[in-house]
């Protein structure tokens, strides 16, 4: 939970800069949606910070979270980001094909004005991407360059505060090693170009050094290491992650708690996806898919607690597949087959077909994380923010432990927000 220590005061007219490593489909859909909502040309559906409500003690009438807490308003947000290509946000959004033409044209000027900063990128981490706009230098040099980018972006946007949300691709699978165990070890690894330090870790390290809250929207290791957690605490900076909980896993964390609540048994849960955007292309590489697979597979065991209910879930078979299918673009489709056990062990099946939109589901998550992480910073919170675990497939461990059940995660979020009221 948050550690509140002499929280600074804020004013209603302060501007917040949102830094987005990875200026792709998710990031541009998020930015465009914020501008459309400002103009009254769209509704930020899916955003708890904009549409969610809570009850205040002694009042049975629910009030919007945005009315109860001093979170930044949409018209206070400015945007900047990094990418491996130099295309402006309007060109990226056009190519992504998520938003319809009338929406893009309504915010063309705003999107066209956002050009990315060059990326810190290593081909080994994401071999399916073809970068054309990258920085050079060893890893310590790259962190210094990113820190300068952060300062320059803050000045250029004319903002009072910053927050960062990773919207980039899934990297190759990396396990925490010796270089990730302490601040000193990581700093030495940067100077030595340690192969276990990936590109996303450089962005996180630069942000933490600058005191910028950092949310990890991918399953990359990034800030889920002792070194990053130690630095976040040392610089009094909030962190959270990992991997936006959007489509199939969102449904999984809604259904599984309900099935368990009725003590229905489960023999297997098979999940498969088709996806044709850049994320799908990256995940077509086995080493990158493994990172995503580990994130998706971590959900059911924690929710179902097979060690406490061996007769119901002790032999559960849980499989996940993702297939790159270019014709589908950003409109991914997920199929789930759930093999259930009922009274006296009789078998049943539940099948789910979710035709969803990857970036449409992720955009409100980016908004909420930006606003709530900034709130955490302003209230003096630092380190892992488990109150924001509702937004992630694979939440980081904390003093309160890992929680995957969406409804328990919702209670954690409300507890966090109430602590700031």
Cβ atoms of 21 and 203 within 8 Å: the answer is yes
Give the pLDDT band of residue 8 (cuts 50, 70, 90).
very low
| pLDDT tens track for 82-131 | 999 999 999 999 999 999 999 999 999 999 999 999 999 999 999 999 99
Q: pLDDT grade, residue 42 (50/70/90)?
A: very high
Percent of the chain past pLDDT 90, that is, above it, reads: 87
3-state secondary structure of 202: helix
To 5 degrees, how large is the angle CA 266–CA 347–CA 296?
Answer: 25
Predicted local confidence at residue 298, as pLDDT: 81
Structural domains in the chain plus CATH codes: 16-244+359-419 (3.40.50.720), 248-355 (3.30.360.10)
DSSP tag of 84: S
Q: Mean pLDDT across the stretch 329-342? A: 94
Please tell me the predicted confidence (pLDDT) of residue 141. 98
What is the per-residue pLDDT for 106?
98
How many other CB atoms sit within 10 Å of the CB of residue 262?
Answer: 7
Q: What is the band of 194 on the pLDDT scale with cuts at 50, 70, 90?
A: very high
Residue whose entry in the numeric block shows the structure tokens 């192969």: 195
Confidence of residue 80 (pLDDT cuts 50, 70, 90): very high
pLDDT band at 291 (very low <50, low <70, confident <90, very high): confident
The pLDDT-based confidence of 241 (bands split at 50, 70, 90) is very high
What local confidence, expressed as pLDDT, does residue 334 receive?
93
For residue 82, give the nearest of 137, 111, 56, 121 by alpha carbon.
121
Q: pTM value?
A: 0.94
Pairing mode of beta strands 317-324, 265-275: parallel
Neighbours of 414 (CB within 10 A): 17
**Residue 136: CB partners within 8 Å, gap ≥ 6?**
none
How far is the C-alpha of 176 from the C-alpha of 198, rounded, in Å? 11
Can you tell me the mean pLDDT for 154-161?
A: 98
Confidence category of residue 168, pLDDT binned at 50, 70, 90: very high
Q: pLDDT above 70 covers what percent of the chain?
A: 97
Gyration radius of the chain's alpha carbons = 21
What does the pLDDT read at residue 147?
Answer: 98
List, in order, residues 6 or more apart from 216 with CB less than 8 Å away: 166, 200, 204, 222, 223, 224, 239, 240, 241, 242, 243
Q: Which two tokens stand for residue 14?
A: 């302060």
For residues 190-211, give the mean pLDDT: 98
Confidence of residue 212 (pLDDT cuts 50, 70, 90): very high
Q: Looking at the predicted structure, is the pLDDT value of residue 1 above 50? A: no
Torsion sign, CA atoms 46, 47, 51, 52 = positive
The mean pLDDT of the chain is: 94
pLDDT at 12: 66
* 365-418 pLDDT tens trace: 999 999 999 999 999 999 999 999 999 999 998 888 999 999 999 999 999 999
- Per-position DSSP letters for 323-377, written without gaps between them: EE-GGGTT--EEEEEEEEE-GGG-EEEEEEEEE--HHHHHHHHHHHHHHHHHHHH
- Strands in 214-216's sheet, in edge-to-edge order, are 117-118, 77-83, 16-21, 161-166, 214-216, 238-241, 383-384
User: Does 312 sit behind a cis peptide bond, omega within 30 degrees of 0 on the bond before it?
Assistant: no
**Pair of tokens at residue 168:** 């980039």
Over range 280-293, report the average pLDDT: 88
Tell me whether residue 363 is exposed, middle or buried, using C-beta atoms within 10 angstroms of its C-beta: 0 to 12, 13 to 18, 19 or more.
Answer: buried
Instruction: Report the distance separating Cα 34 and Cα 14, nearest Å.
Output: 17
pLDDT number for residue 9: 44
CA distances (Å), 363 to each of 45, 173, 241, 251, in order?
10, 25, 16, 17
In the prediction, which pLDDT does 295 show?
76
Q: Please tell me the distance from the alpha carbon of residue 34 to that of residue 421, in angstroms, as a whole number.
A: 25
pLDDT level of residue 58 (50, 70, 90 thresholds): confident
């Amino acid at each position: 939970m948050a550690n509140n220590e002499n929280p600074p005061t804020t004013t209603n007219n302060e501007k917040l800069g949102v830094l987005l490593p990875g200026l792709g489909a998710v990031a541009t859909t998020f930015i465009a949606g914020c501008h459309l909502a400002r103009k009254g040309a769209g509704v930020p559906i899916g955003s708890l910070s904009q549409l969610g409500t809570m009850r205040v003690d002694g009042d049975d009438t629910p009030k919007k979270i945005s009315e109860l807490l001093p979170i930044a308003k949409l018209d206070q947000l400015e945007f900047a980001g990094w990418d491996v290509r130099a295309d402006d946000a309007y060109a990226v959004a056009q190519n992504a094909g998520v938003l319809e033409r009338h929406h893009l044209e309504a915010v063309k000027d705003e999107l066209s004005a956002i050009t990315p900063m060059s990326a810190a990128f290593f081909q080994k981490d994401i071999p399916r991407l073809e970068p054309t706009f990258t920085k050079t230098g060893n890893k310590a040099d790259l962190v210094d360059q990113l820190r300068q980018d952060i300062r320059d972006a803050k000045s250029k946007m004319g903002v009072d505060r910053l927050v960062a949300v990773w919207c980039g691709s899934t990297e190759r699978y990396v396990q925490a090693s010796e270089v990730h165990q302490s601040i000193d070890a990581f700093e030495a690894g940067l100077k030595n170009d340690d192969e276990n330090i990936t590109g996303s870790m450089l962005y996180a390290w630069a942000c933490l050094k600058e005191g910028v809250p950092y949310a990890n929207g991918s399953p990359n290791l990034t800030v889920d290491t002792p070194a990053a957690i130690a630095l976040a605490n040392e610089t009094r900076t909030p962190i959270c992650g990992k991997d936006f909980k959007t489509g199939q896993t969102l449904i999984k964390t809604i259904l599984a708690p309900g099935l368990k609540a009725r003590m229905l048994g489960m023999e297997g849960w098979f999940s498969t996806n088709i996806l044709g955007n850049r994320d799908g292309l990256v995940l077509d590489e086995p080493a990158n898919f493994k990172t995503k697979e580990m994130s998706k597979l971590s959900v059911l065991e924690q929710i179902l607690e097979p060690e406490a209910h061996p007769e119901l879930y002790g032999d559960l078979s849980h499989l996940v597949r993702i297939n790159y299918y270019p014709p589908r673009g950003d409109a991914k489709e997920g199929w789930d087959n759930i093999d259930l056990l009922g009274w006296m062990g009789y078998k049943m099946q539940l099948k789910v077909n979710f035709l969803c939109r990857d970036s449409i589901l992720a955009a409100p998550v980016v908004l909420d994380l930006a606003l709530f992480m900034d709130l955490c910073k302003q209230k003096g919170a630092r380190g892992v923010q488990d109150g924001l675990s509702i937004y992630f497939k694979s939440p980081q461990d904390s003093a309160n432990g890992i929680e995957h059940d969406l409804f328990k995660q919702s209670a954690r979020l409300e507890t966090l927000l109430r602590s700031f009221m």
